[in-house]
């Protein structure tokens, strides 16, 4: 984005310098503005058009008298109260969409943070030690194929409480890609970087902080990004089973009350929040790994 | 007792074993280097010259024999034997300044104050003419500049012996010549003890006090040692017409291409 802006500025300036005529300068400026307009149009117009078409198809196909799902307009009408009051709180489960989402996000935050800490540590261990890799890798490869929800009954039995169980399910879902990517990143640290560290005699912690983490960061962040996506996938299903406040149980509750339009609204919320989570981790990753991948 | 030199490589041998196969890479390598000498090690690729350098650096342990530097046996890597790698090996997430700082701040943590370390980093980067790019990252500078920073990092460690592993190998001819001149200028100021791996005959003759020529592997060893008795400062242009210079070149070339002509054999490893 920055480079694009500076190129635009440069071209505007060169035009302004070459041709002293005021009218030409004005023209060149309006040209630059026109370019921005083109840019906005090219970026925002296509998704807008596609979305309009999709909503129109939805409206048309669900408008018939025997349609089993509400049409777009019916959905907005039926869920209007929820749409305009995201923060209401009547106590118990009867709270606004924002609170439902935040409750789910809180569970994801706990589970995901634990997975990040444990996943990066185990990944470093497996990446550093061939022995640990040979011992742990088969275990990881088997456990990571277990579907997240299959862990739920076991964790309910273990924790005897729904709240930590949901967090555990998020943890166990997110940890595998983090471990695997971190270990690959650590194993791929170039021999030269290790040699530099050996020559200047960095100790274990200095090596970890100044060489290993930055060098493996691109791998670690791709693991973190997969992990956050999987946790958000798992939370909805887990909450459907454990109940309480949360977007997952909200959907289940709406289904039981036959409030189909509320379910659609919840899906839109879930999708947008998942998208934002993914982009947030990607953004942090881009900031942290700036300059790391190039040699 | 023999009079001991500054750097001694004594009876060094190196075997690499993989499974049942053992390849004898080096055998009976003996070399004495005096303080302030510039030594080039030249040989065909695969002759084990990099292995010699890595053993001196302490990155590899010799199967037998010892390396003694300034009266102490070399067992592990350390800043007294700083390396310039062929592919610069700067840390890409650090700026030019930080790449030198990571070494300086670690090595002189207790012996220099923060301000002194800062000045020392700047001084070494100035020596290689990189003061203009202190806050650039390696990806933003050219190959020749990266190698300059690599040299600054190695010099900043104040090593007892500077180890150069084909330092100009990855550079284009013009940049290489330029950097060789810079290294000669720095060497005339600092009088470091230098051990350089190269496969470039001109480079070896131009820069060195002595050229160590290695035989082909397996079981490579030092074939001949050639003293380069050319006055310094040396100028690459006037030397091209110098009969002594050409005589030295001829000797190295004849060693490499007549006596040790590279025969392509299937590697034993």
Quickly list DSSP for A109-144: HHHHHHHHHHHHHHHHHHHH-HHHHHHHHHHHHHHT
Please, are residues B211 and B228 in contact by the beta-carbon 8 Å criterion?
Answer: yes
Whole-number Å distance between alpha carbons of B269 and B267: 5
Residue B59 forms contact with A (CB below 8 Å): yes
* Position B1 pLDDT exceeds 60: no
Please, are residues B163 and B82 in contact by the beta-carbon 8 Å criterion?
Answer: yes
**B16 φ/ψ angles, rounded to the nearest 5 degrees:** -110, 130
Per-residue confidence (pLDDT) for residue B265, from 0 to 100:
53
Q: CA neighbours within 13 Å on the CB side: how many for B179?
A: 25
3-state SS of A144-176 is: CCCCHHHHHHHHHHHHCCHHHHHHHHHHHHHHH
Distances (CA, A) of A48 to A41, A43, A54, A267, B179: 10, 9, 10, 19, 57
Write out pLDDT tens, residues B182-194: 999 999 888 999 9
CA distance B103 to chain A (A): 6
Mean residue pLDDT of chain B comes to 90
Which residue in A has a C-alpha nearest to residue B103's C-alpha? A200
Which residue in A has a C-alpha nearest to residue B89's C-alpha? A192
Mutate to test the interface with A, among B91, B105, B117, B146 (most CBs of A within 10 A): B91
Whole-number Å distance between alpha carbons of A170 and A178: 13
CB pairs under 8 A between A and B: 67
Mean pLDDT (whole number) for A240-254: 89
CA distance B146 to chain A (A): 10
Write out pLDDT tens, residues A46-88: 899 999 999 999 999 888 888 888 888 888 888 888 888 888 8
- pLDDT tier for residue B155 given thresholds of 50, 70 and 90: very high
Per-residue confidence (pLDDT) for residue A1, from 0 to 100:
37
Write out pLDDT tens, residues B139-150: 999 999 999 999
CA distance A178 to chain B (A): 22
Per-residue confidence (pLDDT) for residue B196, from 0 to 100:
95
Residue B157 forms contact with A (CB below 8 Å): yes
Chain B residue numbers touching A192 (CB-CB < 8 A) = 85, 87, 89
| B3 DSSP 8-state letter | P
Whole-number Å distance between alpha carbons of B69 and B49: 18
| B2 DSSP 8-state letter | P
Interface confidence, given as ipTM, is 0.86
| Cα B87 from chain centroid (whole Å) | 13
Centre a 10 Å sphere on the Cβ of residue B6 and count the other Cβ atoms it contains: 17
Name A283's Cβ contacts closer than 8 Å, sequence gap at least 6.
none
Residue B142 forms contact with A (CB below 8 Å): no
Please, are residues B112 and B149 in contact by the beta-carbon 8 Å criterion?
Answer: no
* Position A8 pLDDT exceeds 70: no
Q: Which of B82, B93, B137 sits opposite A199 (nearest CB)?
A: B82
Chain A residue numbers touching B82 (CB-CB < 8 A) = 199
Centre a 10 Å sphere on the Cβ of residue A82 and count the other Cβ atoms it contains: 20
Please, are residues B164 and B192 in contact by the beta-carbon 8 Å criterion?
Answer: no
CA distance A219 to chain B (A): 14
Give the torsion sign (CA, A206, B78, B37, B225).
negative
Q: Write down the number of H helices and E strands in chain A.
A: 13, 0
Q: Show the CA angle centred on residue B34, arms to residues B30 and B40, nearest 5°.
A: 65
Whole-number Å distance between alpha carbons of A286 and A112: 19
Mean pLDDT (whole number) for A182-190: 94
Residue B103 forms contact with A (CB below 8 Å): yes
Q: Which helix (H) or strand (E) holds A258?
A: none
Please, are residues B62 and B14 in contact by the beta-carbon 8 Å criterion?
Answer: yes
Whole-number Å distance between alpha carbons of B122 and B101: 9
Chain A residue numbers touching B81 (CB-CB < 8 A) = 199
Chain B residue numbers touching A292 (CB-CB < 8 A) = 92-93
| Radius of gyration from C-alpha coordinates of chain A | 26
Q: Show the CA angle centred on residue B19, arms to residues B13 and B22, nearest 5°.
A: 25
Mean pLDDT (whole number) for B174-200: 91
Q: Is B22 helix (H, G, I), strand (E, B) or coil?
A: strand
Please, are residues A255 and A263 in contact by the beta-carbon 8 Å criterion?
Answer: yes
- Per-position b or e across A84-107, b if 16+ CB within 10 A of its CB: eeeeeeeeeeebbbebbbbbbbeb
Please, are residues B136 and B52 in contact by the beta-carbon 8 Å criterion?
Answer: no
Nearest to B106 by CA among A214, A206, A193, A205: A206
Which residue in B has a C-alpha nearest to residue A217's C-alpha? B93
Q: Which of A192, A202, A291 sits opposite B93 (nearest CB)?
A: A291
Write out pLDDT tens, residues B247-265: 999 999 999 988 877 665 5
Q: CA neighbours within 13 Å on the CB side: how many for A141?
A: 7
Cβ distance of A199 and B139 shorter than 8 Å: no
Please, are residues B16 and B268 in contact by the beta-carbon 8 Å criterion?
Answer: no
* Position A13 pLDDT exceeds 50: no
Q: Which of B59, B106, B107 sits opposite A195 (nearest CB)?
A: B59
Per-residue confidence (pLDDT) for residue A84, from 0 to 100:
83
* Position A21 pLDDT exceeds 80: no
Whole-number Å distance between alpha carbons of A173 and A227: 7
Residues belonging to chain A with any Cβ–Cβ distance to chain B shorter than 8 Å = 190, 192-193, 195-196, 198-202, 206, 210-211, 214-215, 217, 289-295
CA distance B7 to chain A (A): 18
Cβ distance of B93 and A211 shorter than 8 Å: no
Whole-number Å distance between alpha carbons of B165 and B87: 9
Cβ distance of A210 and B102 shorter than 8 Å: yes
Whole-number Å distance between alpha carbons of B165 and B53: 7
Chain A residue numbers touching B77 (CB-CB < 8 A) = 195, 198-199, 201
Which residue in B has a C-alpha nearest to residue A192's C-alpha? B89
Per-residue confidence (pLDDT) for residue A62, from 0 to 100:
87
């Amino acid at each position: 984005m920055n480079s694009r802006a500076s190129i635009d500025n440069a071209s505007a300036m060169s035009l302004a310098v070459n041709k002293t005529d005021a009218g030409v300068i004005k023209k060149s400026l309006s040209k630059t503005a026109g370019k921005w307009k083109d840019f906005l149009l090219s970026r925002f117009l296509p998704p807008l058009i596609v979305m309009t078409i999709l909503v129109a198809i939805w409206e048309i196909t669900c408008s018939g008298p025997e349609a089993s799902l509400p049409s777009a307009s019916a959905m907005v009408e039926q869920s209007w109260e929820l749409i305009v009051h995201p923060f209401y709180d009547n106590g118990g489960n009867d709270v606004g969409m924002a609170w439902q989402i935040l409750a789910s996000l809180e569970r994801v935050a706990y589970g995901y943070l634990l997975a990040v800490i444990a996943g990066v540590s185990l990944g470093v261990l497996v990446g550093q030690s061939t022995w640990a890799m040979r011992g742990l890798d088969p275990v990881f490869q088997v456990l990571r194929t277990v579907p997240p929800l299959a862990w739920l009954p076991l964790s309910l039995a273990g924790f005897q409480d729904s709240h930590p169980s949901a967090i555990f399910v998020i943890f166990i879902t997110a940890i595998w890609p983090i471990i695997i990517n971190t270990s690959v990143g650590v194993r791929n640290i170039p021999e030269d970087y290790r040699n530099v560290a050996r020559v200047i005699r960095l100790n274990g912690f200095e090596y970890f902080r100044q060489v290993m983490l930055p060098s493996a960061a691109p791998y670690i962040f791709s693991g973190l990004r997969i992990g956050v996506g999987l946790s958000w996938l798992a939370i909805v299903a887990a909450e459907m089973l454990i109940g309480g406040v949360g977007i997952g149980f909200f959907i289940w509750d709406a289904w039981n009350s036959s409030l189909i339009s509320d379910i659609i609204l919840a899906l839109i919320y879930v999708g947008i929040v998942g998208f934002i989570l993914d982009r947030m981790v990607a953004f942090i990753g881009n900031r942290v790994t700036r300059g790391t991948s190039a040699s | 007792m023999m009079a001991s030199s500054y750097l001694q490589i004594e009876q060094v041998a190196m075997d690499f074993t993989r499974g049942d196969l053992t390849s004898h890479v080096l055998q009976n390598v003996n070399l004495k280097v005096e303080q302030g000498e510039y030594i080039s090690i030249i040989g065909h690729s695969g002759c084990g010259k990099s292995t010699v350098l890595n053993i001196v650096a302490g990155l590899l342990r010799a199967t037998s024999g010892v390396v003694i530097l300034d009266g102490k046996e070399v067992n592990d890597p350390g800043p007294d034997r700083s390396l310039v790698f062929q592919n610069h090996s700067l840390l890409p997430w650090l700026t030019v300044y930080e790449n030198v700082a990571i070494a300086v701040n670690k090595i002189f943590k207790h012996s220099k104050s923060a301000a002194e370390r800062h000045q020392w980093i700047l001084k070494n980067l100035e020596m290689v003419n990189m003061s203009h790019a202190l806050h650039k990252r390696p990806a933003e500078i050219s190959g020749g500049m990266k190698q300059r920073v690599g040299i600054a990092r190695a010099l900043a460690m104040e090593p007892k012996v500077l180890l150069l592993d084909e330092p100009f190998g990855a550079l284009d001819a013009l940049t290489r010549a330029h950097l060789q001149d810079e290294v000669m200028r720095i060497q005339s100021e600092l009088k470091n003890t230098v051990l350089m791996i190269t496969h470039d005959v001109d480079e070896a003759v131009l820069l060195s006090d002595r050229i160590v020529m290695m035989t082909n592997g397996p079981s490579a060893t030092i074939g001949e040692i050639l003293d380069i008795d050319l006055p310094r400062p040396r100028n690459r242009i006037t030397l091209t017409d110098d009969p002594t210079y050409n005589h030295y070149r001829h000797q190295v070339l004849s060693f490499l291409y007549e006596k040790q002509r590279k025969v392509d054999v299937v590697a034993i490893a």
